[in-house]
């Protein structure tokens, strides 16, 4: 009776201590934040005495994860952008047109003259032939331009569908190709946006894909959505520059017509390159991850005609010399030219793995945003409003807390005090768990915590009421406590499961602040059930063992 | 000495006037639906699209002047309301400006917002835009779908849960009580015209959870007592169970309300509507678990023949937490 194994006791206390330790950094929020920032800065740019002093504001052996503050608490900008994939279809069709024209021109004898019909949908080319009897041959020629779709679902299909009616041929992007290629502009846009925002160097930006063609961007600390839009709106500049030299001094004298720029992958390495590029990214038509002749991951790329000529001439004259692939004044890589590259297409080899080559290909294509972004949702929250909300939330939480604590002691005396210890631990554990999983605290999330303060005592109320009933029924103190816990379990579990289900549904369906609320509500249920069932019980048992009271009053 | 809000032994007859309670609930539901039908909900931009701007100025706020300043921009329907909060400073005048969704699918562009700010700055120099939120109609339409889906899913999921835990009569009683709570909450929102946005959906679902929490505790006791007192009439067992759990029901409702009211008063104006929904939900949820859920259970009746083994009750889910 009233026995709890030692290992269980140890485990319960261990969980509580872990929760408290994890929650502790949040009590010193700004200090820990500065320390974390300083560590990140040291990691990125080396130690300085100031940074070190700042880093030591929080002992390194302590947990240092903090609860993220949501945009509504910290202030910042939120954008939901939709990538206009139709733009890409139109560009694809415009790119295909010259090929179609060249193919048909060679067979003018059979197909006659032809003309592209304007006002066709963006994802189609329509053309009219002067000799309808040449339709079959023309369609055969155009079908010859099709390439297989490179995706699992699109296996066996080609990228374009060619159909004819009367003297009009319609070339349309196939649905399989659209499916396969829609992901591409989205990935490129994500990558570009991420790079642009990282450049500005704000803390913890959120850049997420949403659905098939949307991107959610949340950046704390940016003044307004307009500012954020201007950051991601500028186009990326990709250039291919001749390399003059390479070193570690960012302030080296580059010489006339040259500039010193850092390397993207190797921190501390700087390249001196000629300022005038050989070719720019505007002349790149494609870049794809591939493999070189040794089976090493590589990136293949292709220039348009003028780019191909410039690139061909340059490589022919500079075999053995390195040239730099530069994105926004950072060297992505500086391969050595191994041979003359005449066809305007080439392959970049280097020390990459498959993932890196894929990323590089994305970046190379990512010269500019591949499609227009339409902004469906824009939110700017001023930092003052967030701070006001935090302050108000703090006061409300403290008052709610104090009220419930007093109320519990008044109603249940000593047992109410035990429940209060559990309640304090409960809140600490919510913060600890939030920090651990990197959860985000939002304004509704604070409401979720306050609600938890009110509802968490429910489990203990159920138990205490049961103990009262058992005492009334004439059971001894130990037996009454034991039975009280045993009989209340069913109601505690049964009562909390529906709330937990709704928290899960809210988490799955909601976004932003609502999701923050769902997280604190769900965590609050887990921790409150744990503290009510295990912690208060352990405290009561320990108290009971020490005092051995003949009678108890609950 | 203990604070006892509910006497130790109570024997209220909760079903003596059951027709009155059900009638009252029915009447309230009717009122709520009428209000909803006549006035409709004051949907926030999450659901209707549009733009809200929270402004702060040191000058006294004159809504008419603000309206006249913005009107020449031709942005369509504009609503301006003044915001009050005891936490505001003496010279802190806050307004919410709402601009209706524009024709295209996009959010209001930053250029237009800059124009609005310039126009307002002319009448209230130094006016600050504390927050600007703009949602295009394309997204708001989807948010409505998601919200409705979330509420339906939540009610469906808990219905299945209660059905697995108890018999179907209990499940039906619980869900009718739940729908009752949700309808009454929506009714209050349409009557008082508080802004109904995504956060309110979260509050609604929390009400769903809370109301069920209460109902489950009562029903759990009913089930226990049904097993113990096989001969007693159902009405008596129900009454006994509600009386036995009354102290707990009141305690928990009060601690929850205590917490919520402190948040309502001190938590700032941004979250007030959200907290109001939850306070209302706790009150209605407590009422409905006693007067609606149990009354419907009494009305439907429960299978009482426990002598034979029965597969539908006490199944594997019934005591999952014991």
Query: What is the count of residue pairs from A and B with beta carbons less than 8 Å apart?
Result: 246
The answer to whether B110 contacts A492, with C-beta atoms less than 8 Å apart, is no
Q: Which residues contact A478 (CB under 8 A, 6 or more apart)?
A: A1, A2, A544
Chain B residue closest in CA terms to A395: B266
| Residue A506: half-sphere exposure toward Cβ, Cα within 13 Å | 32
Element at A271 (helix H, strand E): strand A270-274
Q: How buried is B88 (Cβ within 10 angstroms: 0-12 exposed, 13-18 middle, 19+ buried)?
A: middle
pLDDT, residue A350, reads: 64
| pLDDT higher than 60, residue B300 | yes
Per-residue pLDDT tens digits for A241-270: 888 888 888 777 777 778 888 887 777 888
Least confident of A79-93, B54-68, B83-97, B301-315: B301-315
- Residue B102 contacts residue B60 (beta carbons within 8 Å): no
Element at B204 (helix H, strand E): helix B198-228
- Residue A533 contacts residue A514 (beta carbons within 8 Å): no
| pLDDT higher than 50, residue A281 | yes
Domain at A87-178: CATH architecture: 2-Layer Sandwich (3.30)
Length of chain B: 322
pLDDT higher for B174 or A107? Answer: B174
- Residue A454 contacts residue A419 (beta carbons within 8 Å): no
Strand A76-83 relative to strand A68-69, pairing: unpaired
CA distances from B55 to B87, B95, B318 (A): 16, 5, 54
User: Which CATH number is B50-135 given?
Assistant: 3.30.70.3220
Per-residue pLDDT tens digits for A192-230: 888 777 766 666 788 888 877 889 998 887 778 887 877
pLDDT, residue B37, reads: 93
Q: How buried is A380 (Cβ within 10 angstroms: 0-12 exposed, 13-18 middle, 19+ buried)?
A: buried
The answer to whether B252 contacts A492, with C-beta atoms less than 8 Å apart, is no
The answer to whether B198 contacts A465, with C-beta atoms less than 8 Å apart, is no
Angle at B44 between CA B41 and CA B49, to 5 degrees: 115
What are the residue ranges of CATH 1.20.1640.10 in chain B? 18-42+140-300
Q: Which residues contact A198 (CB under 8 A, 6 or more apart)?
A: A205
Mean per-residue pLDDT of chain A: 83
CB-based contact (8 Å) between B210 and chain A? yes
Taking alpha carbons only, the member of B204, B91, B116, B93 closest to residue B154 is B204
Residues A1-9, mean pLDDT to the nearest whole number: 83
Instruction: Give me the interface pTM, i.e. the ipTM.
Output: 0.85
Length of chain A: 554
Per-residue pLDDT tens digits for B190-221: 998 888 888 888 888 888 888 888 899 999 99
- How far apart CA A171 and CA A363 sit, in angstroms, is 30
Please give the CATH topology (third level) of the domain spanning B18-42+140-300.
Multidrug efflux transporter AcrB transmembrane fold (1.20.1640)
For the record, the structure tokens of B307 come out as: 């002598």
Restricting to B residues 58-117, those with a Cβ less than 8 Å away from any Cβ of A are 87, 105-110, 113-114
| pLDDT higher than 70, residue A154 | no
The answer to whether A443 contacts B270, with C-beta atoms less than 8 Å apart, is yes
What are the residue ranges of CATH 3.30.1360.200 in chain A? 239-365
The answer to whether A506 contacts B128, with C-beta atoms less than 8 Å apart, is no
| pLDDT higher than 50, residue A84 | yes
Per-residue pLDDT tens digits for A394-427: 899 999 999 999 999 999 999 999 999 999 999 9
Element at B55 (helix H, strand E): strand B50-57
Q: Which residues contact A396 (CB under 8 A, 6 or more apart)?
A: A446, A450, B262, B263, B265, B266, B267
For the record, the structure tokens of A435 come out as: 């920090």
If you search the block for the tokens 């520059």, which residue do you land on?
Answer: A241
pLDDT, residue A300, reads: 82
Cα dihedral B304, B306, B309, B314 sign? positive
- How far apart CA A432 and CA A413 sit, in angstroms, is 29
pLDDT, residue A176, reads: 79
pTM of the entire structure? Answer: 0.75
Cα dihedral A166, A171, A177, A178 sign? negative
What are the residue ranges of CATH 1.20.1640.10 in chain A? 6-75+382-547
- Residue A335 contacts residue A315 (beta carbons within 8 Å): no
CATH, domain A239-365, list 1.20.1370.10, 3.10.400.10, 3.30.1360.200, 3.40.605.10 = 3.30.1360.200
What are the residue ranges of CATH 3.30.70.3220 in chain B? 50-135
CB-based contact (8 Å) between B260 and chain A? yes
Is domain A6-75+382-547 in CATH 1.20.1640.10, yes or no? Answer: yes
């Amino acid at each position: 009776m009233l026995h709890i194994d030692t290992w269980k006791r140890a485990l319960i206390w261990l969980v509580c201590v872990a929760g408290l330790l994890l929650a502790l950094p949040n009590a010193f929020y700004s200090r820990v934040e500065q320390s974390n920032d300083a560590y990140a800065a040291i990691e990125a740019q080396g130690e300085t005495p100031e940074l070190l002093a700042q880093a030591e504001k929080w002992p390194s052996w302590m947990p240092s994860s903090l609860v993220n503050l949501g945009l509504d608490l910290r202030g910042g900008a939120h954008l939901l952008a939709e990538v206009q994939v139709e733009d890409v279809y139109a560009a694809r069709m415009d790119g295909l047109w010259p090929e179609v024209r060249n193919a048909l021109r060679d067979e003018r004898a059979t197909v006659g003259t032809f003309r592209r019909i304007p006002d066709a949908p963006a994802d189609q080319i329509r053309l009219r032939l002067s000799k309808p009897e040449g339709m079959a041959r023309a369609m055969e020629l155009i079908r010859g331009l099709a390439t297989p779709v490179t995706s699992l679902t699109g296996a066996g299909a080609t990228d374009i569908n060619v159909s004819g009616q009367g003297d009009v041929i319609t070339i349309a992007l196939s649905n399989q190709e659209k499916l396969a290629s829609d992901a591409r502009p989205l990935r490129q846009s994500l990558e570009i946006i991420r790079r642009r925002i990282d450049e500005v160097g704000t803390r913890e930006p959120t850049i997420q894909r949403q659905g098939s063609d949307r991107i959610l961007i949340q950046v704390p600390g940016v003044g307004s959505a307009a500012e954020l839009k201007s950051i991601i709106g500028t186009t990326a500049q990709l250039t291919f520059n001749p390399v003059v030299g390479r070193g570690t001094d960012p302030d080296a004298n580059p010489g006339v017509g040259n500039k010193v720029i850092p390397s993207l992958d190797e921190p501390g390495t700087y390249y001196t390159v000629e300022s005038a590029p050989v070719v720019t990214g505007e002349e790149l038509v494609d870049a794809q991850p591939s493999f070189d002749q040794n089976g090493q991951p590589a990136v293949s790329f292709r220039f348009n005609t003028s780019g191909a000529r410039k690139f061909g001439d340059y490589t022919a004259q500079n075999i053995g010399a390195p040239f730099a692939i530069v994105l926004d004044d950072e060297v992505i890589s500086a391969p050595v030219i191994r041979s003359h590259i005449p066809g305007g297409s080439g392959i970049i080899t280097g020390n990459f793995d498959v993932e890196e080559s894929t990323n590089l290909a994305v970046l190379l294509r990512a010269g500019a945003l591949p499609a227009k972004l339409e902004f469906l949702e824009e939110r700017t929250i001023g930092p003052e409003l967030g701070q006001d909300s935090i302050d108000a939330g703090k006061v409300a939480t403290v008052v709610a807390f104090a009220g419930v604590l007093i109320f519990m002691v008044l109603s249940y005396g000593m047992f109410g005090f035990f429940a209060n210890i559990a309640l304090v631990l409960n809140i600490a554990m919510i913060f600890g768990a939030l920090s651990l999983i990197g959860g985000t605290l939002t304004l509704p999330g604070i409401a979720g915590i306050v609600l938890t303060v009110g509802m968490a005592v429910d489990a203990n109320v159920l138990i205490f009421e049961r103990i009262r009933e058992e005492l009334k029924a004439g059971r001894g103190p130990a037996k009454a406590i034991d039975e009280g816990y045993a009989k209340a379990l069913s109601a505690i579990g049964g009562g909390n499961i529906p709330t937990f289900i709704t928290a899960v549904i809210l988490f799955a369906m909601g976004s932003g602040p609502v999701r923050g609320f769902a997280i604190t509500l769900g965590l609050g249920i887990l921790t409150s059930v744990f503290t009510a069932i295990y912690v208060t019980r352990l405290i009561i048992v320990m108290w009971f063992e020490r005092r051995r009271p003949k009678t108890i009053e609950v | 000495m203990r604070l006892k809000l509910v006497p130790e032994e109570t024997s209220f007859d909760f079903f003596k006037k059951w027709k009155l309670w059900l009638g009252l609930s029915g009447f309230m539901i009717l009122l709520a639906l009428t209000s909803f039908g006549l006035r409709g909900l004051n949907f926030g931009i999450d659901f209707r699209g549009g733009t809200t701007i929270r402004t702060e100025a040191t000058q006294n706020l004159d809504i008419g002047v603000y309206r006249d300043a913005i009107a020449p921009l031709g942005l369509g329907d504009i609503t301006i309301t003044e915001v009050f909060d005891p936490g505001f400073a003496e010279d802190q005048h806050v307004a919410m400006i709402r601009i209706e969704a524009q024709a295209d699918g996009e959010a209001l562009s930053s250029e237009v917002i800059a124009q609005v700010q310039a126009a307002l700055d002319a009448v209230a120099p130094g006016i600050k835009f504390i927050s600007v939120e703009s949602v295009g109609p394309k997204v708001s339409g989807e948010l409505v779908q998601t919200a409705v889906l979330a509420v339906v899913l939540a009610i469906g999921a808990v219905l299945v849960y209660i059905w697995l835990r108890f018999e179907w009569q209990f499940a039906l009683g619980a869900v009718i009580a739940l729908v009752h709570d949700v309808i009454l909450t929506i009714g209050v929102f349409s009557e008082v015209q508080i802004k109904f946005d995504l956060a309110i959906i979260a509050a609604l679902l929390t009400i769903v959870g809370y109301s069920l929490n209460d109902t489950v505790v009562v029903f759990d006791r009913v089930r226990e007592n049904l097993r113990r007192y096989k001969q007693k009439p159902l009405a008596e067992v129900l009454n006994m169970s509600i009386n036995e759990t009354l102290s707990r029901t009141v305690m928990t409702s009060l601690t929850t309300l205590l917490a919520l009211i402190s948040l309502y008063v001190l938590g700032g104006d941004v979250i007030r509507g959200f907290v109001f929904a939850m306070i209302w939900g706790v009150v209605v949820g407590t009422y409905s678990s006693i007067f609606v859920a149990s009354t419907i259970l009494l009305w439907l009746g429960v299978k009482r023949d426990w002598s034979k083994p029965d597969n539908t009750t006490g199944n594997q889910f019934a005591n999952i937490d014991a």
